[in-house]
C-alpha cells in the first residue's frame, strides 16, 4: 500500500533544508508526496518559493495563506493559530498517512498541532538541537508532539533519548541540506537559473555573504544590531551579497535599517537580495570568502563546505558548530576584526557534524517502513 507523505513548507529556508528528501520521496515507489506551501514561503517579500518548486518539477497539493505580516509577536501567534485551523481542514480532505514538520520556525507549530490532534503520524525533522531565540521553545514543543524524529546529529539523537523519547523512533539521518551541499561542492559552474535580479559573482571574485535575522528575545536592540553589521561590512569594502531577513517579529526593523543605509551610503559594494534557488544558493556560499550573520546556514552547511563564518550574537547559541565558526558580538569593530581574521584562513576542512550528504535516501526509506501510529501495539 502506498503511503501518503504530507510535507508542509512554511519558509524559503525550509525548502533548502528539505529539498533532497522531497526528491527521494517523489522517486520512491512506496510513497506519494503531498506538498503544501504556507506562510512566508508564499510571500514575495520573503522569497516566495513557488517558481523554484515549479522549476524543480514539484506539484503543489495546496497553498495555505495564513501569514499575518506585522512586526510583533501577536502576529506570529495569530499566524500559528490560523495555520492550525487551515491545515486541520486540509488534512481532513487529503488524508495523509504521515505529516512532516521541518525545523524550528514558529509557523511549524501549526503543522505539528493539527497533525497530532488529528492522530496522524507526525515526523519532526531537525529536532533535539539547542539554540537561542524563540526557535528553542518551538523546536522542543514540536519534539513533544512528534511520533518520529529524524535528527541531524548524534548529540541531538542522544538528547532526545535522554528526555524520554523512544529510541526506536529517533533516527540520526543527518540534515537533508547537506545532500545539496555535497552537490554544490562537486559543481564548478553556477546554475543558469536564479530567482533574484542581481547578477552572479564574476569568476574568481572575492565576496562576502551576509544573513542576519532578528532575535525575537532581543527585539528592542534589532535596529542597533543591524546598523553595527552594515557599518562593519561597509568598512570591509568587499563585494557582498546580503540576504533580506526571514519573516520573524523584528524583521521590518532590519529592512528599515537596510533602507536607511542605502539612502545614506551610495558608495558601498553590497547587493541586497531576496532569494536564490537552493542549489545556487549553496554554490554562492561555497565560493564566498566568508559568511557573516546569525543564520543556521553558517553552522550547518558552511561547516560541511569549509567556509569561514563569523557568527554574531545569541541566535545560534548552544548549537553544535565546526572549527570554521568564530563567534562575536554586535559590535562594528569586533565584526571587522573577526572577518579579517577569518579571511586569513580562506578554507577549512569539511566537517560532517550534520551529515555526509545521504540524508534524503535515509528519510525516504524510513518513511516507507516505520510503523504508523495506528499500527503500534504499545507506547513507550
pLDDT one-digit tens code per residue, 22-47: 999 999 999 999 999 999 999 988 88
Q: What pLDDT is attached to residue 33?
A: 98
Q: Is 280 exposed, middle or buried (0-12, 13-18, 19+ CB in 10 A)?
A: buried
Mean pLDDT of 259-280: 90
pLDDT grade, residue 5 (50/70/90)? Answer: very high
Percent over 70 (pLDDT), the chain: 93
Q: Can you give the chain as a three-state secondary structure string?
A: CCEEEEEEECCHHHHHHHHHHHHHHHHCCCEEEEEEEEHHHHCHHHCCCHHHHHHCCCCCCEEECCCCCCCCHHHHHHHHHHHHHHHHHHHHHHCCCEEEEECCCCCHHHHHHHHHHCCCEEEEECCCCCCCCCHHHHHHHHHHHCCEEEECCHHHHHHHHHCCCCHHHEEECCCCHHHHHHHHHHCCCCCCCCCCCCCCCCCCCCCEEEECCCCCCCHHHHHHHHHHHHHHHHHHCCCEEEECCCCCCCHHHHHHHHHHHHHHCCCCCEEEECCCCHHHHHHHHHCCCEEEECCHHHCCHHHHHCCCEEEECCCCCCCCCCCCEEEECCCHHHHHHHHHHHHCCCCCCCCCCCCCCCHHHHHHHHHHHCCCHHHCCCCC
| Residue 81 dihedral angles phi and psi, to the nearest 5° | -65, -45
Give the integer Cα–Cα distance in Å for 338 and 86: 45
Lowest mean pLDDT among 11-20, 182-191, 307-316: 182-191
Residue 190 above 70 pLDDT?
Answer: no
* 11's grid cell: 519558509
| Residue 14 dihedral angles phi and psi, to the nearest 5° | -65, -35
Q: Tell me: the pLDDT tens digits for 49-65?
A: 999 999 999 999 999 99
Give the integer Cα–Cα distance in Å for 9 and 21: 12
Whether pTM exceeds 0.95: no
The string over 285-322, giving b where at least 16 C-beta atoms fall within 10 Å of a residue's C-beta and e elsewhere, is bbbbbbbbbbbbbbbbbbbbbbbbbbbbbbbbeebbbb
Q: What pLDDT is attached to residue 379?
A: 52
Mean pLDDT of 91-116: 96
Distance of CA 166 to the CA centre of its chain: 26
* 167's grid cell: 529510541
Give the bridge partners for 211, in sequence order.
243, 293
Please state, rounded to an integer, the average pLDDT across all residues of the chain.
Answer: 92
Q: What pLDDT is attached to residue 187?
A: 78
* 35's grid cell: 506538498
Q: Domains in the chain, please, with CATH?
A: 3-175+355-375 (3.40.50.2000), 191-343 (3.40.50.2000)
Residue 328 above 80 pLDDT?
Answer: yes
Mean pLDDT of 66-85: 89
Give the integer Cα–Cα distance in Å for 54 and 268: 35
Amino acid at each position: 500500500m502506498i503511503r501518503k507523505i504530507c510535507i508542509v513548507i512554511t519558509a524559503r529556508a525550509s525548502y533548502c533544508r528539505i529539498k533532497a528528501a522531497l526528491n527521494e520521496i517523489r522517486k520512491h515507489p512506496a510513497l506519494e508526496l503531498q506538498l503544501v506551501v504556507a506562510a512566508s514561503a508564499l510571500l514575495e517579500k520573503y522569497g516566495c518559493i513557488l517558481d523554484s518548486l515549479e522549476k524543480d518539477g514539484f506539484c503543489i497539493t495546496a497553498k495555505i495563506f495564513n501569514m499575518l505580516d506585522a512586526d510583533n509577536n501577536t502576529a506570529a501567534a495569530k499566524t500559528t493559530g490560523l495555520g492550525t485551523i487551515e491545515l486541520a481542514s486540509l488534512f481532513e480532505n487529503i488524508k495523509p498517512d504521515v505529516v512532516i514538520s521541518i525545523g524550528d520556525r514558529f509557523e511549524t507549530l501549526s503543522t505539528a498541532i493539527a497533525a497530532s490532534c488529528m492522530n496522524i503520524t507526525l515526523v519532526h525533522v531537525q529536532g533535539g538541537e539547542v539554540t537561542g531565540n524563540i526557535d528553542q521553545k518551538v523546536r522542543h514543543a514540536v519534539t513533544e508532539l512528534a511520533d518520529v524524529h529524524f535528527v541531524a546529529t548524534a548529540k541531538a539523537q542522544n538528547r532526545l533519548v535522554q528526555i524520554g523519547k523512544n529510541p526506536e523512533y529517533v533516527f540520526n539521518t543527518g540534515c537533508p541540506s547537506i545532500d545539496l551541499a555535497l552537490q554544490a561542492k562537486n559543481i564548478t559552474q553556477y546554475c543558469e537559473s536564479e530567482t533574484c535580479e542581481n547578477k552572479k559573482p564574476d569568476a574568481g571574485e572575492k565576496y562576502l555573504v551576509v544573513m542576519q535575522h532578528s532575535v525575537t528575545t532581543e527585539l528592542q536592540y534589532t535596529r542597533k544590531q543591524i546598523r553595527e553589521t552594515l557599518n562593519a561590512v561597509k568598512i570591509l569594502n568587499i563585494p557582498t551579497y546580503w540576504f533580506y531577513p526571514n519573516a520573524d517579529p523584528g524583521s521590518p526593523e532590519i529592512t528599515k535599517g537596510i533602507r536607511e543605509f542605502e539612502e545614506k551610503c551610495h558608495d558601498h559594494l553590497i547587493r541586497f537580495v531576496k532569494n536564490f534557488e537552493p542549489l545556487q544558493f549553496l554554490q554562492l556560499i561555497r565560493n564566498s570568502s566568508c559568511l557573516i550573520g546569525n543564520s543556521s546556514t553558517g553552522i550547518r552547511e558552511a561547516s560541511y563546505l569549509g567556509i569561514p563564518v563569523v557568527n554574531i550574537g545569541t541566535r545560534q547559541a548552544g548549537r553544535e558548530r565546526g572549527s570554521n565558526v568564530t563567534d562575536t558580538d554586535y559590535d562594528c569593530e569586533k565584526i571587522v576584526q573577526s572577518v579579517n581574521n577569518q579571511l586569513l584562513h580562506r578554507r577549512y576542512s569539511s566537517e560532517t557534524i550534520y551529515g555526509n550528504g545521504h540524508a534524503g535516501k535515509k528519510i525516504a526509506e524510513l518513511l516507507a517502513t516505520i510503523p504508523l501510529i495506528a499500527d503500534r501495539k504499545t507506547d513507550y
